[in-house]
């Protein structure tokens, strides 16, 4: 790596938080042990999304179902209680991102039943869907790519492991397609800077013979299902931070990983080598070199420095970008500025990471509350902030 960015998450373990750390139910959580999706059928009636927009205005809403079960009642900018999916759709959002873990026994969320609920709600509001396979039982990110426990016996058998990955990816998509919940874009892995499907401490350098074989099996599963069902699903590969995309996609291409449609990037200025006024350089480089569409699939910005609970906030004063204070106006300004950079270089979208991960009485793996409550698009009273107006750009697409 150009910079040892694998501390992306391990940095937060030291402060009891992480940008991938989740607000998952633990023994402190009053809803722990209850499956909110039990007995529920995803709604078959959906509003079909329009043709692919020129630019995706997206929101990762993976936490919403859990937050509502934990007592959050979202409000629009007028202070009226409203369905959060409707709030985003009416603001102009045209894409919802949702994560999927393989078998996360420690939480009732981000499993297939929960993902079906999210996709159903997103499609009911006419929004497209990006499905994020983590290929892990927990958070996968630059600091860890932990193999699902069910696959661990095959960790040294690349062919067998690739078949497990293929079958799992295919079966999930086939199940979703059978319920009219087919995603429009699929991430084959989450922040896959390191080699995927490892155990414990990460191995460097990447074994590209193994890594390319596994990634290509995931891609093939998406392509096969999409062709058989005439589904038109696109494939995305997701790397944390633009500077890491520069070396990763070069190595991946040399190793034969080329059959994808989207370059997905996480971009948080606090953890990047590139400031906001410099980031167009690596983005242009990636677009022009690989002739792929590009989307920032994770970013966020604080609307305040106040903490609503005992869970440490991840984004502090060091996350601020010159010219954009920690305020609703600063939050909106940052998003609009990053959007303008993306449009200028010909990128195809921007997704806000967990804009609805508000503070509740439920617990994460580290503390009670939310580690993101100062960086959501809802204030501490659950009312939509001015930052939600970022999505207004999608109303004209």
Distance of alpha carbon 128 from alpha carbon 226, whole angstroms: 16
User: Which residues are designated catalytic?
Assistant: 191, 298
How far are the Cα atoms of 31, 36, 194, 318, 342 from residue 108, in angstroms, in the given order?
9, 8, 27, 34, 36
- Nearest to residue 236, comparing CAs of 173, 294, 298, 186? 186
Burial call 283-319: b when 16+ CB within 10 Å, e when fewer: bbebbeebebbbbbbbbbbbbbeebbbebebbbeeeb
For 228, the enclosing helix (H) or strand (E) is helix 208-229
Q: Which residues of 154-163 are buried (b: 16+ CB within 10 A; e: fewer)?
A: beeebeebbe
Contact between residue 12 and residue 316 where contact means Cβ atoms under 8 Å apart: no
């Amino acid at each position: 790596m150009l910079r040892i960015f694998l501390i992306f998450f391990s940095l937060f373990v030291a402060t009891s938080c992480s940008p991938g750390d989740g607000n998952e139910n633990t023994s402190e959580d009053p809803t722990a042990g209850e499956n909110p999706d039990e007995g529920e059928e995803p709604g078959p009636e959906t509003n079909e999304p329009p043709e692919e927009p020129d630019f995706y205005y997206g929101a990762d809403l993976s936490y919403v179902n859990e937050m509502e079960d934990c007592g959050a009642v979202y409000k629009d900018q007028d202070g009226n209680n409203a369905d959060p999916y409707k709030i985003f759709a009416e603001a102009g959002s045209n894409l919802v991102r949702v994560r999927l873990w393989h078998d996360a026994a420690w939480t009732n969320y981000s499993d297939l039943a929960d993902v079906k609920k999210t996709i159903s709600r997103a499609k009911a509001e006419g929004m497209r869907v990006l499905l994020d396979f983590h290929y892990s039982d927990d958070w996968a990110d630059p600091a860890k790519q932990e193999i699902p426990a069910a696959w661990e016996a095959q960790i040294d058998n690349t062919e067998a492991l690739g078949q497990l990955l293929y079958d799992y990816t295919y079966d999930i998509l086939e199940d979703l397609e059978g319920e009219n919940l087919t995603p429009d874009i699929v991430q084959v892995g989450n922040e896959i800077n390191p080699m995927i499907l490892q155990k414990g401490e990460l191995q460097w350098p990447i074994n590209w013979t193994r890594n390319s074989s596994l990634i290509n099996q995931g891609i093939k599963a998406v392509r096969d299902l999409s062709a058989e069902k005439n589904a038109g699903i696109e494939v995305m590969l997701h790397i944390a931070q633009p500077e890491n995309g520069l070396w990763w996609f070069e190595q991946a291409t040399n190793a034969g990983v080329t059959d994808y449609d989207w370059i997905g990037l996480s971009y948080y200025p606090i953890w990047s080598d590139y400031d906001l006024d410099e980031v167009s350089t690596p983005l242009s480089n990636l677009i022009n070199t690989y002739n792929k569409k590009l989307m920032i699939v994770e970013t966020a910005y604080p609307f305040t420095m106040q903490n609503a609970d005992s869970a440490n906030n991840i984004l502090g004063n060091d996350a601020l970008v010159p010219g954009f204070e920690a305020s609703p106006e600063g939050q909106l300004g940052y998003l609009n500025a990053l959007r303008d950079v993306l449009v200028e270089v010909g990128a195809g979208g921007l997704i806000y990471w967990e804009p609805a991960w508000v503070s509740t009485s439920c617990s994460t793996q580290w503390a009670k509350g939310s580690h993101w409550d100062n960086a959501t698009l809802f204030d501490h009273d659950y009312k939509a902030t001015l930052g939600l107006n970022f999505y207004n750009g999608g109303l004209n697409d």
